[in-house]
Amino acid sequence: MRAFKICSISLAIFLITVLSATANTCNSFASFTCSKATPDVVHLVGTGTTGQSVGILVGNTFNVTFMGNKSFVGDDLIILAAAPNALTGSVNGVSFSSLSSFPEGGAMGAIQDTWTGRGILFNSPSFGYANVGTIGSGTVSISASGVAAGTIFYAEVINPTTGKVLYITPNSEAGILGGSTTTTPEPASLTLLGTGLVGLASVVRRKVTKDGKTKASPKG
């Protein structure tokens, strides 16, 4: 009897762990609505695994695959993003549209746990999505540009005619960007740098002039 209770408790803990890692809930966002609970079919393929709730480590280029024998040809692929601070950049040349919250129920706990586990500070998380276009046959390649390291990606398949969300990525199949990023200095930053260099040159010039006067002092 005792052994049965122990087995029952162990099974319950196992199921809770598995469900928390895989069972996300679809939420409507922008002009897209959820038709039903969605299965685990959209997978991000990266450079390795994270050992965290968000399971895949990706670089600036990664792939999206579709599990099972489903055909998604003609549907649209949406890339969802959660950044630990400001969400910047684009995927496949498409900039992110801003969202006030992340459109997969239950994902935020996994996202924050993953940031904490990887030592990433998330002072002001921000969210967005990008429709990267119609899905062809097979794997879709995604290229991120100007996106900050630590940004987490999920994917959703959308029917462009009905606007219905067909499939989503569970936490364990989502990816966190761990590679380098491509950024361009802002004009204000360049101006500040230039001002600092001019100031430094002025200080050096004054010091050289002063030293020269000192060496040229009193004649015998």
Q: What is residue 69's predicted lDDT score, i.e. its pLDDT?
A: 67
Q: What are the pLDDT digits (tens) for 25-62?
A: 888 999 999 888 788 899 999 999 999 999 999 999 99
Q: Pick the closest to residue 142 from 187, 103, 94, 84 (CA basis).
A: 94
117-165 pLDDT per residue, tens? 999 999 999 999 999 999 998 899 999 999 999 999 999 999 999 999 9
Instruction: Give the residue carrying structure tokens 């361009």.
Output: 184
Amino acid in the structure at residue 28: S
For residue 32, CA distances in Å to 29, 43, 44, 210 come to 5, 20, 21, 70
Q: What are the two backbone dihedrals, phi and then psi, of residue 141, each rounded to the nearest 5 degrees?
A: -90, 135
d(CA 106, CA 118): 20
**168-217 pLDDT, tens digit each:** 999 999 999 995 433 334 344 334 344 444 454 454 455 444 555 444 44
At residue 197, the pLDDT reads: 44
